[in-house]
């Protein structure tokens, strides 16, 4: 698939720095929040209107200039984005605007690749992206395995081994989705989606990462496993506080039952770091509370479980209710911590190469989503 590789450096900003040197107040704050909302939804024209109104209230509002420039980049009007950044810098002297302008000039006018979807196909992908925008991950799970989304991926995705990769929205410098979809020989399927902010074709800023195993076989009664990761990303890697919800679904007669596991801790460079806690839900309603300590993605050993008399059944966690050693959080049981060859990501996958956890879009040389 032929793609135009964009290296624009314009970054969607989560408005946190406020506006300097001018009036502040509820009206201005509401306009900035509204502009942010429109940017997240990809409604760039509406975002421009909101930011223009904000600038009329405060001509030194840096966030409004940055947001308006992002909106014009979303519309592929790079010249207008440059004009807005220069105007903002002239009015405020704020170096953030100058840095953004210099980056944009250096990047040139290359465009984001976009699939030529039909109106119906675009509507399907808009619906999926809306579910992430509204943090409705339950709806996202249903849509991810729906016939419409699967048909789009199979028709337009870039082949990668036994799967495809597909990006939608602005996955270079803005807000968009990167989707990976793989089929297994046993009929099982796996899909991973990152939705959120991008910079330089890398996940950067606030985002949500989901992974869904469905049509599962060989896993007992479990037919689906769904993980949702809320985190911030930096240069493609998960960073800072990370919250994970992992759900397992199984058929019980005509009823689909589910159990949830909640994991929280801090990420550094895409892997767990420090204390990580887990509340593992059981099918009978019980909850096991586990804690593990990770150093650079490697869990510390807490003891030996001697399962079935096996001296190598090492423990990497502590049961917080009994104080006994147990399998560690996030699938850390049975890992040889001394070898330091397996790193742990928030989606319960391990790798000997931490770079595999980087989320990078179709617009750059990219590792897989994990």
Give per-residue pLDDT as tens, 127-169. 999 999 999 999 999 999 999 999 999 999 888 778 899 989 8
Last residue of a domain, which of 107, 133, 167? 107
Same domain (yes/no): 252, 180: yes
Q: How far is CA 68 from the centre of its chain?
A: 24
Is the pTM of the predicted complex or chain greater than 0.85?
Answer: no
For tokens 């979807």, what's the residue? 117
For 246, the token pair is 């992992």
For 326, residues 6+ apart whose C-beta sits below 8 A from its C-beta are 288, 290, 302, 305, 315, 317, 318, 319, 333
Candidates 172, 165, 146, 201; CA nearest to 74 is 172
**8 A C-beta contact, residue 149 and residue 121:** no
The CATH number assigned to the domain holding 77 equals 1.25.40.10
Same domain (yes/no): 127, 92: no
Range of the domain at 97: 26-107
Task: Assess if residue 286 is contained within a domain.
Answer: yes
Task: Assess if residue 17 is contained within a domain.
Answer: no
Same domain (yes/no): 97, 125: no
Task: Assess if residue 126 is contained within a domain.
Answer: yes
Last residue of a domain, which of 51, 74, 107? 107
Task: Assess if residue 180 is contained within a domain.
Answer: yes
Same domain (yes/no): 203, 171: yes
Q: How far apart are alpha carbons 44 and 37 in whole angstroms?
A: 10
Please count the structural domains in the chain: 2
Same domain (yes/no): 57, 173: no
Same domain (yes/no): 191, 156: yes
Task: Assess if residue 364 is contained within a domain.
Answer: no
Q: What is the pLDDT along the chain (370 residues), one digit of tens a residue?
A: 222 222 222 233 323 344 654 444 458 989 998 998 888 777 889 999 999 999 999 999 999 999 999 888 878 788 899 999 999 999 999 988 988 887 677 555 445 667 889 999 999 999 999 999 999 999 999 999 999 999 999 999 888 778 899 989 888 777 899 999 998 877 788 999 999 988 767 888 899 999 998 876 554 556 788 999 999 998 788 999 999 998 988 877 666 788 899 999 998 888 888 999 999 888 888 898 999 888 888 888 888 776 666 666 678 888 999 998 887 776 555 444 455 556 666 665 666 667 777 887 765 433 344 3
**8 A C-beta contact, residue 229 and residue 208:** yes
Q: How far apart are alpha carbons 190 and 213 in whole angstroms?
A: 4
Same domain (yes/no): 166, 280: yes
Task: Assess if residue 333 is contained within a domain.
Answer: yes
Find residue 298's DSSP bridge partners: 295
Same domain (yes/no): 227, 181: yes
Last residue of a domain, which of 107, 129, 152? 107
pLDDT digits (tens, 9 = 90+) for 186-195: 778 899 999 9
Candidates 115, 112, 126; CA nearest to 41 is 126
Same domain (yes/no): 270, 125: yes
Same domain (yes/no): 192, 320: yes
Task: Assess if residue 8 is contained within a domain.
Answer: no
Q: How far apart are alpha carbons 171 and 369 in whole angstroms?
A: 14
Pairing status of strand 222-234 against strand 202-214: antiparallel
- In terms of phi and psi (left: phi > 0; alpha: psi -120 to 50; beta: otherwise), the region of 269 is left
Which strand (E) or helix (H) includes residue 176?
strand 174-183
Same domain (yes/no): 124, 103: no
Q: Is 139 exposed, middle or buried (0-12, 13-18, 19+ CB in 10 A)?
A: middle
Same domain (yes/no): 247, 338: yes
CA 38-361-104 angle, 5° bins: 65
């Amino acid at each position: 698939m032929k793609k135009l590789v964009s290296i624009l450096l314009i970054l969607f900003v989560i408005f946190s720095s406020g506006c300097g040197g001018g009036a502040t107040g509820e009206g201005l704050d509401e306009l900035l929040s509204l502009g942010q909302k429109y940017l997240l939804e990809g409604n760039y024209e509406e975002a421009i209107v909101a930011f223009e109104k904000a600038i009329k209230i405060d001509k030194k509002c840096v966030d409004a200039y940055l947001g308006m420039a992002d909106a014009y980049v979303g519309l592929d009007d790079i010249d207008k984005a440059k004009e807005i950044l220069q105007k903002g810098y002239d009015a405020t002297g704020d170096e953030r605007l100058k840095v953004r302008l210099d980056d944009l000039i250096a990047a040139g006018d290359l465009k984001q690749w976009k699939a030529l979807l039909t109106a119906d196909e675009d509507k399907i992908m808009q619906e999926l992206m809306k579910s992430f925008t509204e943090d409705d991950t339950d709806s996202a799970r249903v849509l991810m395995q729906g016939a419409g989304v699967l048909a789009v991926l199979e028709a337009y995705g870039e082949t990668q081994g036994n799967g495809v990769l597909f990006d939608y929205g602005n996955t270079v410098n803005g807000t968009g989705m990167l989707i990976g979809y793989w089929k297994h020989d046993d009929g099982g399927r796996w899909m991973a989606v990152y939705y959120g902010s991008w910079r330089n074709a890398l996940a950067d800023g606030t985002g949500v990462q989901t992974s869904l195993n469905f049509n599962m076989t060989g896993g007992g009664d479990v037919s689906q496993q769904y993980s949702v990761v809320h985190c911030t990303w930096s240069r493609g890697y998960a960073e800072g506080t990370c919250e994970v919800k992992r759900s397992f679904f199984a058929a019980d007669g005509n009823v689909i039952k589910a159990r949830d596991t909640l994991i929280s801790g801090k990420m550094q460079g895409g892997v767990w770091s420090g204390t990580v806690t887990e509340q593992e839900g059981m099918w009978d309603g019980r909850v096991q509370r586990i804690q593990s300590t990770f150093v650079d993605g490697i869990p510390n050993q807490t003891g030996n479980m001697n399962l079935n008399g096996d001296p190598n059944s090492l423990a990497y966690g502590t049961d917080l209710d009994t104080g006994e050693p147990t399998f560690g959080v996030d699938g850390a049981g049975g890992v040889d911590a001394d070898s330091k060859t397996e790193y742990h990501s928030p989606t319960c996958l391990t790798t000997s190469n931490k770079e595999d956890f980087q989320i990078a879009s179709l617009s750059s040389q990219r590792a897989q989503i994990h």
